[in-house]
């Protein structure tokens, strides 16, 4: 499993992004590690605001920033040419550059040269370990929970982190298993599943959640969505290899179409449960849904409570917004799992 570490404090680089959906790396780091974040830097036209002080590269360096963390990504995970000058400036001023995109920082010759001359590191998080196996399908001891979604970027990572924290606070044996770049940056370990060659995705998921004690929960961060027209393949491989005993369906109140794919309506929670069980029972016949996690940030407090109550009545499962209301209900279901 990949181990990663980089120096704080961070300057979060947001490019010229205007859609918060594509700034989920920066948002996740600020949510879960605010004490490590010094400020943010937007290019002209960028409107995403993570609530951090707006600092130029020079200002951040003067204030002691140790790492520039790329907090956003375009579809496909490339580094636009317009970013390179900024990255070189930060490296030249002594900052390590940290990226979770598919483009390797070291593959940009001018940036690699600048980093070499400045004595700083180029840290690529979205690089899977070597020699991953093909999945075996063999059942492993221990308990596993996987967060699955109706779409991308709506709370699978946040849900897994919140569940893990609540479980650990109760004294339960629980480990967060990061399967994406942001989760790896936050937890310091994991495997970037979407960067694994397709034949080895389920094997990587087996490595990510290895044999464990019978009462230990691996809480596995989901990726993509089984119904997603672009990313469904990685979601399927992660599900098969994770062999979850339990899963939580994650969705966003008010989202009606797949983000970035407006011609595709969002699947219903029932459709996600049905497909997850159908595929998941191939490697774990006992798989079942134990909860619903909803990003209710677009709803008022009163609206959110009513919405979650409606989902509980409709699906017969506990429903919560783990950031707003905590993960108590879902961890209750884990404790009573049998």
Output the DSSP codes for 147-158. EEESSSSSSHHH
State whether 113 and 147 are in the same domain. no
State whether 305 and 266 are in the same domain. yes
Position 103 scores a pLDDT of 87
State whether 236 and 98 are in the same domain. no
Position 28 scores a pLDDT of 92
The CATH number assigned to the domain holding 317 equals 3.40.50.300
State whether 81 and 221 are in the same domain. no
| Spatial contact of 190 and 208, defined as CB atoms under 8 Å apart | yes
| Residue 246 within any structural domain of the chain | yes
> Is the dihedral angle over the CA atoms 252, 260, 189, 243 positive or is it negative?
positive
The CATH number assigned to the domain holding 40 equals 3.40.50.720
Could you tell me the pTM of the whole model? 0.91
State whether 117 and 167 are in the same domain. no
Picking from 124, 154, 180, the residue at the C-terminal end of a domain is 124
State whether 22 and 166 are in the same domain. no
The number of folded domains in the chain is 2
Per-residue pLDDT tens for 145-203?
999 999 998 999 999 999 999 999 999 999 999 999 999 999 999 999 999 999 999 99
State whether 217 and 327 are in the same domain. yes
State whether 181 and 328 are in the same domain. yes
Residue 81 DSSP symbol: H
| Residue 129 within any structural domain of the chain | no
Picking from 61, 94, 124, the residue at the C-terminal end of a domain is 124
State whether 247 and 306 are in the same domain. yes
| Residue 136 within any structural domain of the chain | no
Distance in angstroms (rounded) separating the CA atoms of residues 212 and 210: 6
- Look up the domain containing 88 and give its range: 2-124
Helix axes of 328-335 and 156-169: crossing angle, nearest 10 degrees: 60
Exposed e or buried b per residue across 290-327, where buried means at least 16 C-beta atoms within 10 angstroms of its C-beta: bbbbbbbeebeeeebeebbeebbeebebbbbbbbebeb
| Residue 300 within any structural domain of the chain | yes
Helix axes of 201-208 and 232-242: crossing angle, nearest 10 degrees: 50
Position 75 scores a pLDDT of 62
CA angle 185-92-59, nearest 5°? 75
Beta strands, E only, 150-245: 174-177, 189-190, 217-220
Picking from 79, 97, 124, the residue at the C-terminal end of a domain is 124
Maximum CA extent, the chain: 61
Distance in angstroms (rounded) separating the CA atoms of residues 5 and 184: 9
User: Could you tell me the CA-to-CA distances from 57 to 34, 54, 66, 67, 93 in Å, in that order?
Assistant: 19, 10, 11, 11, 8
State whether 114 and 180 are in the same domain. no
| Residue 294 within any structural domain of the chain | yes
State whether 162 and 311 are in the same domain. yes
| Residue 138 within any structural domain of the chain | no
Position 3 scores a pLDDT of 82
Residue 267 DSSP symbol: P
> Is the dihedral angle over the CA atoms 6, 110, 38, 295 positive or is it negative?
negative
Pairing of strands 246-252, 288-295: parallel
Residues of the chain with pLDDT under 70: 74-77, 338
State whether 180 and 229 are in the same domain. yes
| Residue 310 within any structural domain of the chain | yes
């Amino acid at each position: 499993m990949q181990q990663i570490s980089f120096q704080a404090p961070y300057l979060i680089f947001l490019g010229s992004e205007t859609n918060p959906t594509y700034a989920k790396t920066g948002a996740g780091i600020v949510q879960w590690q605010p004490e490590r974040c010094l400020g943010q830097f937007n290019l002209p036209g960028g409107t995403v605001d993570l609530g951090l002080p707006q600092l130029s590269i020079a200002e951040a360096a003067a204030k002691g920033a140790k790492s520039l963390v790329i907090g956003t990504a375009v579809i496909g995970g490339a580094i636009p040419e317009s970013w390179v000058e900024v990255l070189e400036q930060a490296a030249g001023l002594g900052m390590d550059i940290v990226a979770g995109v598919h483009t390797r920082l070291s593959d940009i010759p001018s940036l690699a040269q600048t980093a070499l001359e400045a004595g700083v590191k180029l840290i690529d998080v979205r690089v899977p370990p070597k020699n991953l196996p093909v999945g075996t399908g063999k059942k492993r001891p221990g308990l596993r929970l996987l967060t699955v979604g109706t779409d991308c970027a709506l709370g699978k990572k946040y849900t897994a982190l919140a569940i893990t924290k609540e479980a650990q606070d109760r004294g339960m044996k629980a480990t967060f298993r990061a399967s994406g770049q942001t989760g790896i940056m936050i937890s310091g370990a994991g495997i970037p599943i979407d960067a694994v060659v397709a034949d080895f995705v389920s094997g990587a998921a087996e490595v990510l959640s290895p044999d464990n004690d019978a009462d230990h929960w691996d809480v596995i961060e989901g990726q993509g969505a089984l119904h997603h027209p672009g990313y469904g393949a990685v979601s399927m491989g992660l599900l098969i290899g994770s062999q979850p005993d339990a899963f939580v369906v994650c969705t966003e109140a008010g989202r009606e179409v797949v983000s970035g794919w407006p011609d595709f309506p969002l699947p219903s929670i029932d459709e996600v449960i049905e497909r997850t069980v159908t595929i998941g029972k191939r490697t774990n016949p006992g798989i079942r849904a134990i909860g619903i996690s909803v990003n209710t940030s677009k709803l008022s407090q009163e609206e959110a409570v009513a919405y979650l109550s409606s989902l509980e009545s409709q699906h017969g499962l506990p429903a919560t917004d783990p950031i707003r209301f905590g993960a108590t209900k879902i961890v209750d279901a884990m404790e009573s799992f049998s």
